[in-house]
Structure 1
Amino acid sequence: MRKTAVLVAAAAMAATAFTVPQATAATHQGGLHFGALQFDGPGADLPRTNAKLNAEYVDLHNNTSRSVQLRNYKVKTASGYVYTFGSFTLGAGKTVRLRNGQGTNTAYTVYRKKDNYWFNNSSGSVNLYTPAGTKKDSCSWRANGRGYTTCH
């Protein structure tokens, strides 16, 4: 009888262990959040060209069921570079790619319009802030041999 009780208790504990999520399990970020991040574009950084600058980008996803007005949202790197969105509406379930160099903004791509690289090739972080200054999301990376990472 005692052996049966021990076995039942062990089985119950094992079942609980399989239903409790692991602390290290990755979850998909809800709401407005970063997605893919290309921190080191393909090829050598020099000579610097607009195509190479635009090879650095970060995606911003809107996982909600409503459009989000991004005016005055800020994307800031740990090294102090900042991009502030102008009037831009990101549709429900849509993604916008923020590229580093020059280009014409569209519904799917916006440009930082700078002539310097903004992501460190070896490691760094980027943060998203609301117009009120509240941190909404962050993403960090370490060189992984591919030059990109996913942030969620």
Structure 2
Amino acid sequence: MRSLPLAATALAAAAVLGPSLPAHASAPAIQITKVYYDSPGTDRRSNASLNGEYVTIYNSTARPIDMEGWVVKDKTGYTYEFSGVILGAKKKITVRSGQGRDGTSAVYWGRRAYVWNNDKDVAYVRNADGKLIDSCSYDSTRSDYKNC
């Protein structure tokens, strides 16, 4: 039996095994885990209804992250900027659209109008340098729709 040169052997193995799969990118340190875009009930711009729409962000790391200057935006450009928030390791924070008292698990955009479209939109989170960290799009008009 003849032996194949090393390059030919590798090529033959690749043909049998198929193409190699790309390495998956690691998940971002800060992740958008949910966009609740259509608050329950009739949209009358009450504060309770405004706070019924929100974005939840998760710190997937084992260390706290200073969110000072980070922003959450929608596709239109409505922008919430974090101030004085340190998101603990493996913790979530919810950004609610209406008014309220900021705490460790929720902050309030302070808007008197809705942010998130009821049919489709995109939520973005950017760090203080403006770098896109994560995004989540939704489209409730599609049957295969998934939220983040």
Aligned to 1:69: 66
Q: Which of 80, 88, 95 matches 1:98?
A: 95
What is the Cα deviation at residue 144 of structure 1? Answer: 5.4
Q: Cα RMSD (Å) of the superposition?
A: 2.6
Match of 1:58 in 2: 55
User: Are 1:83 and 2:50 an aligned pair?
Assistant: no
**TM-superposed deviation, 1:50:** 0.6
Percentage of matched positions with identical amino acids: 34
1:1-80 aligned within 5 A = 13=16, 16=17, 29-45=27-43, 47-80=44-77
Structure 1 residue 149: deviation in Å?
5.1
Runs of 5+ consecutive residues of structure 2 not aligned to the other structure: 1-11
Matching residue of 1:6 = none
1:28 Cα deviation from its structure 2 partner: 8.2
1:144 and 1:85 map into 2 onto residues whose CA distance is 31
Is contact 2:35-2:123 (8 Å) kept?
no
Residue type of the alignment partner of 1:82? T
Partner of 1:128: 125
Instruction: Tell me if the contact between 2:28 and 2:134 (Cα under 8 Å) persists in the aligned partners.
Output: no
C-alpha displacement of 1:126: 1.2
Q: Distance in 1 between matches of 2:146 and 2:85?
A: 25
TM-score after normalising by structure 1: 0.77
Give the Cα separation in 2 of the matches to 1:149 and 1:62: 21
- Figure out how many residues of one structure are paired with residues of the other and give that number: 134
Displaced runs of 4 or more, over 4 A: none
